[in-house]
Amino acid sequence: MRGTLALVGSAEWQDGCDFDRDLLVASGADEVVVLPTGAAYEHPDRLVEAAETWFTRLGAKVRPLMVLARPDASDPENQAAIEQARFVYLAGPSPLHLRSVLMHSPVWDALVAAWEDGATLAGASAGAMVLCDPMVDPRGGAFTLGLGLVGPLALIPHADTWSEDKQHRTLQLAPAGLPVVGIDERTALVREPDGAWRAAGTGTVTVWVDGVERSLDALP
All structural domains of the chain: 5-218 (3.40.50.880)
- In three-state secondary structure terms, 208 is strand
Beta bridge partners of 182: 156, 206
CB of 9 closer than 8 Å to CB of 126: no
Q: What is the C-alpha to C-alpha distance for residues 67 and 73, in angstroms, rounded to an integer?
A: 6
Q: What is the pTM of this model?
A: 0.97
Q: pLDDT tens for residues 98-156?
A: 999 999 999 999 999 999 999 999 999 999 999 999 999 888 788 999 999 999 999 99
Q: What is the C-alpha to C-alpha distance for residues 107 and 119, in angstroms, rounded to an integer?
A: 14
Residue 142 confidence (pLDDT): 86
Q: pLDDT tens for residues 27-82?
A: 999 999 999 999 999 999 999 999 999 999 999 999 999 999 999 999 999 999 99
CB of 108 closer than 8 Å to CB of 147: yes
